[in-house]
Amino acid sequence: MNTAYDQLVARLKRAHTLYTVADLLGWDEQVNLPPDSADVRATQHAVMAETQHAAATDPAISRLLDELEGGTPARQPTLSDSGQAVVLRYARRDYDRAVKLPADFVAEKAAHSSHAYHAWAEAKAKDDFAGYAPFLEKHLAFARREAELLGWDDRPYDYAIDRHDPGLTAASIAALFTELKHGLVPLVTAIRASRVHAETSLFKKFPIEAQRAFLREVTERLGFNYRRGRIDVSLHPFCSGTGADIRMTTRFDPDNPLDSLFSSIHETGHGLYEQGLPREHLGTALGQAVGMAVHESQSRLWENQVARSRAFWKYFEPKFRALFPAQLAAVSSEALYLAVNAVEPTLIRVDADEVHYNLHILLRFELEQQLFSGELAVRDLPTAWNALCTELLGQTPANNREGVLQDVHWSSGGFGYFPSYCLGNMMAAQLWATASRVLPGLEEDFARGDFTRLLRWLRENIHTQGRQYDTLELVRRVTGEELGPKHLLAYLRERYGRLYLG
């Protein structure tokens, strides 16, 4: 006879399984879908969202939760009571939220996300913001309505933040970002005035098959398990799926081999986190990521602190040269390392270097707040974007493709996600400072191609923890400090100051 707890977990896992099926449809949509099949995919998304919502709002979940919350905790041989308490807490939160959303609202929103994704891709190709604006307006209306249904009607943008990073608010993020900006702007100004320049134009005609082989070797060496994951090509690189089946994507440009390499390492960081979650708990809070800021801290740590280090290139440079001997013949080791750490202002967030990257996020955070407060109308978004871009980055987009249409996130209603990138950067630098302190000799490991000690430390401290602690508590426990920009600023000054400021 199964205990009430077992019965609850079985239902949570069923809802989660349906979610993973919908997620796989989303992956397929961006990787494989034939151009004229978008309509049927929107219908499939709507049906899946409705089915998943029905599973998540199954009245049996409520009954079992009532029973478990009211009575003595059901004993589980494999799980501590504190683990059960975490599962119950999130199951209650998720259930109470799900029942506040009408099924037709959930289905309509899922179908709209699919339509809006294709509208965005087309608008971006044609540089046609006006064609996309109605889709964005409808997404904003959905977001406001959802916030209202869930009880955030006085602060709808906080609801958007909470969806990605529970425990954080627009106000707490604004305080962190203000401190970061204060430290970042002088560094950006000094590096822009530097006479040192990376020669990225030296990289020409890198065959895609060899690029693919190199990134496979790198990501496998970092610890990614390709027996439970794969990498394909999409317009916008992403990582989806769960630890049982990870789907990563990248993109290839023969004249920019570092782009596909670093975007693959970034997605690998996400994949390693998911693969490190306790598989037996997938579908409950103990097998789930804390939030997107923690997720981004994992991707950014591998992409930046690790893969842009001299030690990493000490190991991989000979392998890179062996695959591309002619293309790299005129590139010295120092020029290669400088290209890996090139600092150049760009209008495109995903192309931005580490020094400028956070400024791109400050821009989006500011505009999202204005959109949600009603201060900014969707039709005025391009003008507002360009003005803020000029102010923060010193460059003005010549068209909306390199401005407001560049990112995929809003096309799926993903408001409130952008801040997670910047929070993730702060967290990555803070985790790196702690890891370097408690694991002396990490860079010597990297120079030998050994990344296991770092991965094991992340597994123990972050991945296997599931959702036991929220974002800020996790950072406090692992690093002994509150989350802040101090370590990110120190890291950027050290790495880029040394390269560009002598």
Please report whether residue 304 would count as binding Zn ion according to CB under 5 A: no
Closest CB 47 distance from Zn ion, rounded Å: 29
Closest CB 270 distance from Zn ion, rounded Å: 6
Give 299 or 304: the residue with its C-beta nearer to Zn ion: 299
Give 30 or 299: the residue with its C-beta nearer to Zn ion: 299
Give 57 or 268: the residue with its C-beta nearer to Zn ion: 268
If we measure between CA atoms, which residue out of 65, 420, 356 comes closest to residue 187? 356
* Calpha distance 356→181 (Å, rounded): 11
Candidates 157-165, 202-210, 296-304, 425-433: pick the segment binding Zn ion (CB under 5 A): 296-304
Which residues inside 227-256 make contact with Zn ion, applying CB under 5 A?
Answer: none
* Calpha distance 86→168 (Å, rounded): 19
Closest CB 422 distance from Zn ion, rounded Å: 12
Candidates 112-120, 142-150, 293-301, 310-318: pick the segment binding Zn ion (CB under 5 A): 293-301
Which residues inside 314-333 make contact with Zn ion, applying CB under 5 A?
Answer: none
* Calpha distance 114→156 (Å, rounded): 23
Candidates 43-51, 102-110, 297-305, 493-501: pick the segment binding Zn ion (CB under 5 A): 297-305
Number of residues that bind Zn ion (CB under 5 A): 1
Give 389 or 428: the residue with its C-beta nearer to Zn ion: 428
CA angle 51, 56, 60 (to 5 degrees): 115
Give the residue closest to Zn ion by C-beta. Answer: 299
Candidates 109-117, 163-171, 190-198, 299-307: pick the segment binding Zn ion (CB under 5 A): 299-307
* Calpha distance 342→335 (Å, rounded): 10
Closest CB 420 distance from Zn ion, rounded Å: 8
For every residue of 323-389, DSSP letters joined together read HSTTTTTT--HHHHHHHHT-----S-GGG--HHHHHHHHHHHHHHHHHHHHTSS-GGGHHHHHHHHH
Among 299, 305, 341, 400, binds Zn ion (CB under 5 A): 299
Q: Which residues of 413-447 are buried (b: 16+ CB within 10 A; e: fewer)?
A: bbbbbbbbbbbbbbbbbbbbbbbeeeeeebeebbb
* Calpha distance 411→137 (Å, rounded): 10
List active site positions. 267
Is the Cβ–Cβ distance between 233 and 373 less than 8 Å? no
Closest CB 490 distance from Zn ion, rounded Å: 23
Q: Which residues bind Zn ion (CB under 5 A)?
A: 299
